[in-house]
Amino acid sequence: MMKAQFFAEGMRLVASMRSQSDTHQTAVIQLQNLNQRWLLPSYSLKGSTQAEHCLESATQGPK
């Protein structure tokens, strides 16, 4: 769920553009971070309060 604050910080979602999609092992989320904000993304399973940190893979352009 994208919050207004996310866009207010100058970020853009590149992929995935669907609210629901299937994944077998790894879910990849691509962002554009034009203002070079520090990010600490995490995820949690539906219904769970426990959040896990996402792994950051190769990036293109400024981090």
Partner 1 sequence: MRFLFLKLLVLITRTLFYLAVFLSPVLSVWLASSVVAYINGPRLLTVFSGILLFPLVPILWDMRGRKRRKELGILTWGDRIVLRTLVLNLAFLFLLLALRPQTLFLALSTRGDWFLDGMQGPQVELARTGLFTLSRGLEGLYLRFHNNPFDQYADTTQVKPQPAPQPQPAGQAGQSKGWPWTEVGLHPAVDNMPPSAETSIASVTQYIASQEKDPMLRVKALHDYVADRIAYDAPNYFAGNYPPQDAEMVFQRRVAVCAGYAKLLEALGQSIGEEIVYVTGDSRNSTSDLEGQSHAWNAAKINRQWYLIDPTWNSGYVDRSTGFTKAYKTDYLFPPPEVRGISHFPEDQAWQLRLQPITRGEFLR
Q: By the criterion CB under 8 A, which residues form the site for partner 1?
A: 1-5, 7-10, 18-22, 35, 46
Is there a cis peptide before residue 16, judged by omega within 30 degrees of 0? yes
* Smaller CB separation from partner 1, 7 or 63: 7
Cα torsion 54, 16, 47, 41 to 10°: value is 30
User: CB of residue 6 vs partner 1: minimum separation in angstroms?
Assistant: 9
d(C-alpha 41, C-alpha 56), whole Å: 9
Nearest approach, Cβ of 55 to partner 1 (angstroms)? 20
Give least dist CB 42 to partner 1, A: 11
